Amino acid sequence: SGSSTKDSLVTKTFLKFDTVIQLKLYGDEAAEKHLGDIEKLLDRIDQQINMSNPESEISRVNSAAGKEAIKVSQETFDLVKKSVEYAQATEGTFDPSIGSLVKLWRIGAGGQHPPADHLIEQAKSLVNYRDIELDEKNKTIKLAQAGMSIDLGAIGKGYAGDLVSAYLRQEKVSSAIIDLGGSTIMAIGSKPGGDVWRIGLQDPDRERGEQIAIVQLRDETIGTSGVYERYFIDNGIRYHHILDPNTGAPTQNGIKSVTIIGGTATAGDALSTAAIVKGLQEGLAFLEQTPDVEGMFIMEDNKVHVTSGLQGKIKLTSPEYTLAD
Ligand code: ADP
Ligand code: MG
Ligand code: MG
């Protein structure tokens, strides 16, 4: 198969996962059906994992924390299992049991002041991915401590992205861009005719759509986490939505955003969050020794640091940023 120049462009934009989803696909008469199927797939994942929907599988697991094991779908089980594996691989800098802290800080959900220290300590004591008990045979999940909760906000969009790309492969679609709110962007195949996709990377300080660099991709995934979209400011300090499980507070380490190029979308989502928590030096070193992925760190001083595989390959399009050497 492969797309021919006769293929036409179909697009679809809608809200899901609290963000704007943009689908762009070149194809034949089946293309409209593909867009509809993708929307249904994203709906299904959202219904399984959305913490703010009390009926979701994850909410049911959270409600039963400290009490009982809850049977979930194969998809949800796989996602939680993968999340625990990423927590292990990142030494808990990415931790899917971060829910108690997320609920306490309420960043982007009405929170305006840092919570009292003793409340942070209490919520932090409930964050521990080792207390997520997975029963592979019965497909059940149990949270060992009462009050614990799973929050898949830092990996769910990536996981959904991988399911979309598996669907498109199965349907033999060879030319598409799947953009899940700017933080997971998947280039499927190439442009019709074979040209690479040119994807703009968001400038953390600007409106949506303003770019810091352009990357050329073929069949590749980009995952970005940044401290610029959900936050409140208190006493001149910006408290954003990426929390360090070790301190129980938003990171304050000079990083504005981390972009991961390569690997799966799940990896890009989980590892970009983990890299922010690790900080520049540790984060770079961690990505260097992780196969298949490269990383780009944008710092508050507007210096851009990249892993060795990206050196000489990133061209900045904004004069405000410079590449660190
Ligand atoms: P984005 O919102 O752009 O997808 P992330 O992928 O980094 O950014 O996800 C951030 C969300 O993940 C937060 O809103 C919160 O729900 C959750 N989260 C925050 N800190 C962590 C962490 N250290 N590990 C796992 N999840 C986290
Ligand atoms: Mg993430
Ligand atoms: Mg994300």
The rounded Å distance from CA 184 to ligand 3 centre is 7
pLDDT of res. 229: 83
**DSSP string for 236-265:** TEEEES-EETTTTEE--SSEEEEEEESS-H
Residue 255 has pLDDT above 60, yes or no: yes
**DSSP string for 285-310:** HHHHTSTT-EEEEEETTSEEEE-GGG
Q: What percent of the chain has pLDDT over 90?
A: 91
Instruction: Report d(CA 65, CA 204) in Å as an integer.
Output: 37
Instruction: Report d(CA 141, CA 134) in Å as an integer.
Output: 5
Residue 265 Cβ contacting ligand 1 at under 6 Å: no
Give residue-wise pLDDT tens across range 177-220.
Answer: 999 999 999 999 999 999 999 999 988 887 777 899 999 999 99
The rounded Å distance from CA 198 to ligand 1 centre is 27
Residue 34 Cβ contacting ligand 1 at under 6 Å: no
Instruction: Report d(CA 302, CA 323) in Å as an integer.
Output: 9
Residue 2 has pLDDT above 60, yes or no: no
Residue 1 has pLDDT above 60, yes or no: no
pLDDT of res. 13: 97
Amino acid found at 128: N
Which of 243, 244, 278, 286 for mutating ligand 1's site (highest number of atoms within 8 Å of CB)?
243
ipTM of the modeled complex: 0.98
